[in-house]
């Protein structure tokens, strides 16, 4: 079950790949081009992507902590991408980074 979930939601996509995030800047590859986005969190990242021509709106972000032993955060993002309702998931030790990855997950799932 975990393998299926990982392939569907957590695997790197081909349309949008987050390569780093720190201090309100997200480094990513969008459609094969390296880009820097000013964004601190998922909703800001979705807004920055819209400014770059990607039709994505973060409708809802839900945060869930994982077990205390690995201290990761899971963010589930309900997005509208190109008029289609799509879910994405991000997993990271930082909540803001997990939210950014959840938005990227939704964009990638919509492009399949």
Can you give the pLDDT at residue 13?
87
pLDDT at 28: 97
Provide the pLDDT for residue 68: 63
Supply the pLDDT for residue 30.
97
Sequence-distant (≥ 6) Cβ neighbours of residue 105 within 8 angstroms: 9, 10, 13, 77, 88, 89, 90
Q: What is the pLDDT of residues 67-96, one digit of tens each?
A: 766 778 999 999 999 999 999 999 999 999
Helix (H, G, I), strand (E, B) or coil at 71: coil
Mean pLDDT, the chain, whole residue set? 93
Residue 26 contacts residue 45 (beta carbons within 8 Å)? yes
Query: What pLDDT is stored for residue 71 in this prediction?
Result: 78
Task: Enter the pTM of the model.
Answer: 0.93
Report pLDDT for 2. Answer: 87
Low-confidence ranges of the chain (pLDDT < 50): none
């Amino acid at each position: 079950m975990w393998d299926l979930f990982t392939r569907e939601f957590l695997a790197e996509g081909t349309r949008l790949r987050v390569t780093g995030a720190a201090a309100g800047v997200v480094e990513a590859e969008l459609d094969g081009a390296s880009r820097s986005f000013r964004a601190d969190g998922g909703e800001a990242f979705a807004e920055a992507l819209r400014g770059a021509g990607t039709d994505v709106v973060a409708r809802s972000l839900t945060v869930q902590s994982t077990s205390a032993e690995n201290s990761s955060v899971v963010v589930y993002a309900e997005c509208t991408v190109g008029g289609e309702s799509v879910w994405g998931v991000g997993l990271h030790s930082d909540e803001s980074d997990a939210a950014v990855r959840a938005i990227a997950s939704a964009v990638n799932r919509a492009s399949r």
